[in-house]
Chains A and B, each alone.
Chain A
């Protein structure tokens, strides 16, 4: 399927700092979803973005969908140890399918 590229692959963050992870596509996205997978766990849905320029917040997490609908970002403020895990973006395609990016793995230094 058509790919979404996530950068960076790894993010090492000092507790209390902010960071951003990005999801990019060469083609227009109809929608983008974000999932979080804790170490040893399974992916859990965080949010879906559909509209151009859309911004959604969940506590310390801010999700954005680009104006051209070719990229998305996840920004976390004041990182905590509970933020550890891998964050995946996924694009919706035909036939109910999602295509997942390779993920950004976040570690936190206390």
Chain B
């Protein structure tokens, strides 16, 4: 939706397994983001990337990893080190500059459940 796709929509994993969530955008945006959303809470930033081959930790990066090898793609791996991974994961992209913020466009999200 809005040029950002996430897959899969629903994901189930067994405790102790790593899992990778896909995020692709065709909006030609430089910046991409991963957020986690829990019931009754806002969006918390996991990782973000301003440019290819560069990314920074957000507020809750522990137990997660990312890569940015292509402008269009920003996959997120939820590792077994993440203590409470069950959540709704949202990927977003944006085209703002450092002091001129533009809106972020969100994908449809992946709902991860750890069994």
Q: Which residues of A contact B (CB under 8 A)?
A: 1, 6, 9, 30-31, 33, 41-45, 48, 88, 90, 92, 94-103
- Among candidates A48, A94, A102, residue contacting B41 with C-beta atoms closer than 8 Å: A102
Q: Which residues of B contact A (CB under 8 A)?
A: 1, 31, 33, 35, 40-45, 48, 50, 56, 58-59, 90, 92, 94, 96-99, 101-109
- Among candidates B1, B58, B94, B102, residue contacting A42 with C-beta atoms closer than 8 Å: B1
The residue of chain A having its C-beta at the shortest distance from the C-beta of B32 within the complex is A96
Can you show 22 pairs from A to B with CB atoms below 8 A apart?
A: A6-B42, A9-B40, A31-B101, A33-B101, A33-B103, A42-B106, A43-B92, A43-B104, A44-B106, A45-B103, A45-B104, A45-B105, A48-B102, A48-B103, A88-B43, A92-B96, A96-B96, A96-B101, A98-B45, A98-B101, A98-B104, A100-B35
B43 touches A43 (CB 8 A): yes
Most buried by B among A30, A42, A45: A42
**A103 with B42: in contact, given A42-B1, A42-B90, A44-B106 (CB under 8 Å)?**
yes
**A42 with B101: in contact, given A96-B31, A102-B40 (CB under 8 Å)?**
no
Q: In the assembly, what is the distance between CA of A89 and CA of B49, in Å? A: 22
Count A-B pairs with CB separation below 8 Å.
63
Q: In the assembly, what is the distance between CA of A98 and CA of B90, in Å? A: 14
Most buried by B among A6, A30, A98, A102: A98
Chain A residues, CB < 8 A from B103: 33, 45, 48
Query: Within the complex, what minimum Cβ distance (angstroms) separates A28 from chain B?
Result: 14
Chain A residues, CB < 8 A from B45: 1, 97-99
A100 touches B101 (CB 8 A): no
Q: Which 6 A-B pairs have the closest CB atoms?
A: A45-B103, A92-B101, A100-B42, A42-B106, A100-B43, A102-B42
A95 touches B42 (CB 8 A): no
Query: Within the complex, what minimum Cβ distance (angstroms) separates A67 from chain B?
Result: 21
B94 touches A96 (CB 8 A): yes
Q: In the assembly, what is the distance between CA of A37 and CA of B78, in Å? A: 24
